Structure 1
Amino acid sequence: MTRALQGATTLYNTYWVRFPYGQVTYDKAVAHTKILIDAAKEAGVRRIVHISITNASEGSPFPYFRGKGILEKAVIHSNLSYAIIRPTVIFGHEDILINNIAWFLTKFPVFVIPGDGNYQLQPVFVEDVAGIAVNTGQSNDNMIVDAVGPEIFKYEELIRLIADRVQSKAKIIHLRPVLALFLSKFIGYMVKDVVLTRDEVEGLIENLLVSKNPPTGKTRLSDWLNQHADTIGTQYASELNRHYR
């Protein structure tokens, strides 16, 4: 790996796993990323641009956010020049979350919201994240930047916005989070995928996908949905097929 990085000046690291599956674990993802950081140092890489997540913390009770926090600390202590980019929920061409919400809304008669749906998220456009990464890669300053869009939605507002754009007739209902997770596992068997995880639900309910800082992305999800309503949700996007098989 060190040899592969020789001659590079900046490493853009996007590697991570959405959830543990089979032999894939968060601990292994952390270990592999630390190996990558060490290889970058040995290869003489000048700067690392590391993609993390909003509200990452090594003290987080949620393994996803905790793993991200551990790696942020590893990057900071690597002695490399660094930029840590913290996106929230990323949307855009071929994204999984927004696409699959639209797919479920058009394929099933009922859509389930865990809990009251009043928790918030702040989606960011994939090209805005890429632009932030490139711009920070050209700097010499160490920095941590939240990559967040200009709109903040309550979760139920987001679901109803997508439902409106794709002309869904599904009935939107609320279930206790534990029941919503159970139902997601049943649907997961149907689509042969992991639809939702406990970490994702609990992190969402704790408002970890919202930034306290000003927006850094410019693209509004509501505008993007208007432009792509006829293409999102036409096919289910499998996380397992894309990243685990």
Structure 2
Amino acid sequence: MSGVNVGAGRVVTVFGGSGFVGRYVVRALARDGWRVRIACRRPDLAFHLQPQGRVGQIMAVQANVRHPESVAAALRGASAVVNLVGILAESGAQKFSKVQSEGARAIGEAAKAAGINNVVHISAIGADTQSASDYGRSKAEGEAAILAAVPTAVILRPSVIFGPEDDFFNRFATMARFFPVIPVVGAQTKFQPVYVGDVAEAVAVAIAGGAKAGAVYELGGPEVKSFGELVDYILKVTERERRVASLSFSTGKLVAGVTQFFTKISLGLFPTLLRMTADQVELLKHDNVVSEAAIREQRTLQGLGIAPQAIEAIVPTYLYRYRKTGQYQAQRLGA
């Protein structure tokens, strides 16, 4: 369903379009002929996306999902809405409930008030109103709020997303560069990494009408791997010999408590690379993979007509820089 001129010059507002996933979504929507309005807290951080489309096709406006009036303003004249706003950890005024629950509700209600029925909302596998994780609960609450306001909305739940700017493969590759031991909490927990370009394509297909209205899709790549296997793969690609220390969930929570304490007393100056929260440890207790029900009901990438990319086809293209000689690997003496 996606393709050139699907948007036919109509406006789609993309909340959170300046982030990692946003840049790929904006590119896919611009390719399909949409006029893309990127709504974000810092419009200046979205200026680099303008070359992704024709002159004047992509513009940024200021909006904050914690301020409903700015959300409504960002939707004026729009025909479709994409919500990519989400956080992995709380910081300052950025709370799970405010951003992922109440923020989604503000977008849904503003879309309803504007008469917009074409809404795509990015959630996450693991969204559950009964989750012990604040992240998981807020994601589920956001989904419910969007569907309550706009029953035709499409919900997309990806597993861990990978790509050149990701915060998963890059993070552990960086740790392998500096530390002799890589701590892993929940080494047996399973993930189904999905390529950011495939997630963006799913958004484009859904916004073009190629998804079931009101459905919840689960997005995963072609492979299921444990957390420990993924870290081993990162070490293999980056050619780093490091010890992987498997930590229990109880130990993980102790470590998370320490890093959260130092993050707080350092006023946020504690290295991001070393941060971990108790809520993230809670999430790691459950596998992050596409459910059997979603597969059976074709609520997957394949159900949207998308063949998912494998990590082996993409990840080495950006992790090579973490090798000792980076892009000059082939020029090493004796190579």
Band the TM-score falls in, shorter-chain normalisation? 0.7 to 0.9
8 Å CA contact 1:83, 1:144 repeated in 2: yes
Q: Secondary structure at the match of 1:50?
A: strand
Q: TM-score, normalised by structure 1?
A: 0.85
Distance 1:102 1:175, change over 3 A: same
* Matching of residue 109 in structure 1 with residue 180 in structure 2: yes
Aligned-partner Cα distance in 2 for 1:119–1:167:
24
The question of 1:178 aligning with 2:261 is answered no
Cα shift at 1:72: 1.0
TM-superposed deviation, 1:183: 4.1
Residue 177 of structure 1: CA displacement?
2.7
Structure 1 segment 60-75 matched on structure 2, within 5 A: 60-75=131-146
The 1-side partners of 2:76 and 2:274 are apart by 37
5+ residue gaps, structure 2: 1-70, 264-268, 302-306, 325-335
Cα 1:233–1:46 shift into 2, 3 Å: farther
2:207 to 127, 137, 162: 137
**Which residues of 2 match residues 117-156 of structure 1 at below 5 A?**
117-139=187-209, 141-156=213-228
Letter of the structure 2 residue corresponding to residue 57 of structure 1: D
How much identity, in percent, do the aligned residues show?
25
More relative contact order in 1 or in 2 (CA 8 Å, sep 6+)?
1
Query: Partner of 1:3: helix, strand, or coil?
Result: helix
Secondary structure of 1:77's match? helix
Tell me, in whole angstroms, the C-alpha distance in 1 between the residues paired with 2:87 and 2:270: 22
Determine the C-alpha separation between the residues in 1 that align with 2:222 and 2:170. 20
Matching of residue 25 in structure 1 with residue 85 in structure 2 = no
1:160 is aligned with what amino acid? D
Amino acid across the alignment from 1:64: Y
Instruction: Provide the C-alpha distance between the structure 2 equivalents of 1:11 and 1:70, rounded to a whole number of angstroms.
Output: 18
> Aligned residue for 2:290?
211
Q: 1:242: which partner in 2?
A: none
How far apart, in 2, do the equivalents of 1:127 and 1:46 lie?
25
Aligned to 2:119: 48
Letter matched to residue 94 of structure 2 = V
Is residue 2:72 matched to residue 1:10? no
Q: Distance in 1 between matches of 2:281 and 2:181?
A: 18
Question: Is the 1:3–1:43 Cα contact (8 Å) retained in structure 2?
Answer: no
CA distance in 2, matches of 1:233, 1:12: 37
Does residue 98 of the first structure (1) align with residue 169 of the second (2)?
Answer: yes
- Paired residue for 2:229? 157
Segments of 5+ residues of structure 1 without an aligned counterpart are 235-245
Q: CA deviation at 1:142?
A: 2.4
Per-residue deviation, residues 119-169 of structure 1 (Å, max 9, x unmatched): 201111111000001101111722211111111001111110011000112
For residue 199 of structure 1, report the CA deviation from its aligned partner: 2.2
Looking at structure 1, the residues matched to 96 and 317 of structure 2 have their Cα atoms a distance apart, in angstroms, of 36
SS of the residue 1:20 aligns to: coil
Q: Take 1:154 and 1:63, find their aligned partners in 2: how far apart are those partners?
A: 23
| Rg larger in structure | 2
- Aligned match for 2:271, one of 191, 196, 206: 191
Q: CA RMSD in A?
A: 2.3
